[in-house]
Chain A
Amino acid sequence: MSEGKELLALYEQMAVIRRVEKVAYDMFLAGLVKGTTHLASGHEAVAVGASAALRPDDYVFATYRGHHHTIARGGSPEACLAELMQKATGICKAKGGSMHLTYAEGNMLGSYAIVGAHLPMAVGAAWSARLRGTDQVAVAFFGDGATNIGAFHEALNLAQVWRLPVVFICENNLYMEYTPIGSVTAVEHPAAGRAPAYNMASEIIDGNDVLVVRDAVARAAARGRAGEGPTIIEAQTYRHYGHSRTDPAKYRPAEEVEAWLKRDPLDIARNRLESLGVDSGEIAEADRRATETVEAAVAAAKAAPEADVAEAFTDVWADGGAAWRN
């Protein structure tokens, strides 16, 4: 596939994610989505670029801001939106919700809402690949806020000591929740700045350029597959919404927001497409398909039945049930 064609496909994936997040936001305001959401608008290039560099049998672990990773690994927008809308057709049967989207068929092994907890899990998946003699890699996506929790440091050390094929990808959007990461972290680069302490390879990259992300993750995955151990990638990006649905993100200076919005990952991809000579009509066509995909997903999710109450008592155990006593 030509670079232009490949980028156009990546652009369309990002466009789908952008629309899913917009729909999630709107439906929240309309009362159709309950609980909370942590939207990934602005982070699309990290998920889509990384997925483009990975194989279907590689493993991905994400955070509660994980809609983009689920969709990038093949989870359908309809199943994701149905999950948010508490429908029986939800990707986790409406038992997970926005913070726990999982698509095991695509080896996207979960979205975890305890900060940093999934980093050791990714180490374990990479260890498993080694034990089973495969050359799969495991990727942990995490926010900048995860870099100050113990599990992050335990995971980095163990991954490096055992030389495991893990790619640690920090989506550094400058804010943990409401507090700037720089004001609570002892090093300038919260993820990559820790790499030297673990004798680990690292890169700081433009997380809003999907091809930059793709190429960096490809390098890191190749290192992992070659037995050269883990890599930290610190992808600099910015979220377009607040931390979660109740957060208007007033703590971010207007000029900072403005500067980052000018670096929208979709705009960057569109500019690249144009410079690669891709016809603007083709780009518009990709946008139209993305819109159709998400509109159809919304309609199907809305039409789906709500979760069957009997499902509350399934799936605790491997036998499908929930019995704790006889």
Chain B
Amino acid sequence: MAELNGTISYREAVAEGIAREMRRDPSVVCLGEDIGAAGGVFKTTQGLFAEFGPERIWDTPISEQAIVGAALGAAMTGVRPVAEIMFSDFLACCWDYLANEIPKVRYMTGGQVNVPLVIRTANGGGLGFGAQHSQAVENWALTIPGLKIAAPSTPADVIGLMASAIRSDDPVVVFEHKGLFASKGPRPPEGHTVELGRAAVVREGTDVTLLALAATVPTALAAAERLAEDGVSAEVVDLRCLIPMDLSTVLASVGRTSKLVTVEENPHQGGWGGTVVSVVVEEGFELLDAPVRRVTSANVPLPFADNLENEVIPTVDKVVAAVKAVVDY
């Protein structure tokens, strides 16, 4: 699976992260559409069926409610299921479970049951899949108290956050970004974990904080590189999780730079940056020397054509323009 030279792709890291947990904990099982012998439509479960067999890797019908509903029932009764929803857009088909069942069971029973459940899903655009297979919907999950939410940007974080998600006794939705599957990075050592709810400062800077998530992290890093050529020092923070939300790292970074630009792939309306910014202005207003800017997807359904999609989603050019407006304020 992984290359011998010490790098691993984001796509391979998904399977590797799951496999590491399945090796250490026999109660971890996977279910989803085409995840078995087919290895997943994105090949993110490649090799799992061969290693763990049909009693731990379960192909399901195209029945999103049955997939996550059964995963929930299993999670309540001594199993740690990892359920795949093929495209995150399809979460809408089983939204009752994410909105009404999974996040509420523990609370409304007065803590009588735990829900150690992972739902993983391929999220995001940039690949020309059109309006129903391209959305970044991490903000949907953010509207529901009771779900933890991870969205890794690197192969090492995929493995580290997958480990924490699977070991968590709470439900975690893991958004894997389709645009990152082919990207590569260092292969983390065995036992690597990334705590849920810990953001990472992935580039230090002094003039502006770029707060990014998943595929917008490389976008923000590319923008920071270009801005450096113009003498602007951008700090890039990878939020990594939406819940728990590491706002102290965000506020500390804004304290250093006094300016904030969020880079979000979800639409501007209801996007996660709105929650971040509301806290920053409530608790960090004195830290700011310029208005906050949000670079987001536009409030339209995602179009098919490359040039139209680029017009709508965050790009390096848009981030650079937003930063320049903020630093010139």
Q: List A residues at the B interface (Cβ < 8 Å).
A: 59, 61, 90-97, 100, 102-105, 109-110, 112, 114, 117-129, 131-132, 138, 150-151, 154-155, 157-158, 161-162, 311, 314-318, 320, 322-326
Contacts and interface: CB of A to CB of B under 8 A. Distances in A.
Q: Looking at A110, A158, A317, A320, which has the most chain B CB atoms within 10 Å of its CB?
A: A317
B77 A128 contact: yes
A37 to B, nearest CB: 16
A316 B109 contact: no
Contact of B111 (A109, A119, A127, A315): A315
14 contacts: A92-B108, A100-B108, A102-B110, A109-B73, A121-B76, A123-B69, A124-B76, A128-B77, A128-B78, A158-B61, A314-B111, A318-B168, A325-B245, A325-B246
B113 interface: yes
Q: Looking at A102, A105, A123, A325, which has the most chain B CB atoms within 10 Å of its CB?
A: A325
Interface of B: 27, 29, 55-56, 58, 60-61, 63, 65-66, 68-79, 81, 96-97, 100-101, 105-114, 116, 145-146, 168-170, 197, 243-248, 279
Contacts of A127: 70, 73-74, 79
B109 A120 contact: no
Given A61-B73, A118-B101, A315-B106, 5 more contacts: A96-B108, A109-B113, A125-B76, A157-B63, A326-B248
A31 B233 CA distance: 64
Contact of A324 (B63, B74, B97, B243): B243
B296 to A, nearest CB: 21
B76 to A, nearest CB: 6
Contacts of A96: 108-110
A61 to B, nearest CB: 7
A316 B78 CA distance: 19
Given A131-B29, A131-B79, A121 B69 contact: yes
A104 B113 CA distance: 7
Nearest to A105: B112
Given A117-B96, A128-B79, A326-B246, A315 B107 contact: yes
Nearest to B81: A124
B43 to A, nearest CB: 25
A166 to B, nearest CB: 10
Contact of A132 (B79, B81, B116): B79
A102 B101 CA distance: 14
A100 B109 contact: yes
A157 B69 CA distance: 13
Given A325-B279, A326-B247, A124 B146 contact: no
A110 B100 CA distance: 13
A91 B110 contact: yes
A173 B165 CA distance: 43
Contacts of B247: 325-326
Nearest to B62: A154
B111 A93 contact: yes
Contacts of A325: 243-247, 279
B60 to A, nearest CB: 7
A190 B94 CA distance: 23
Contacts of B107: 95, 315-316
B72 A110 contact: no
Given A117-B96, A324-B243, A318 B169 contact: yes
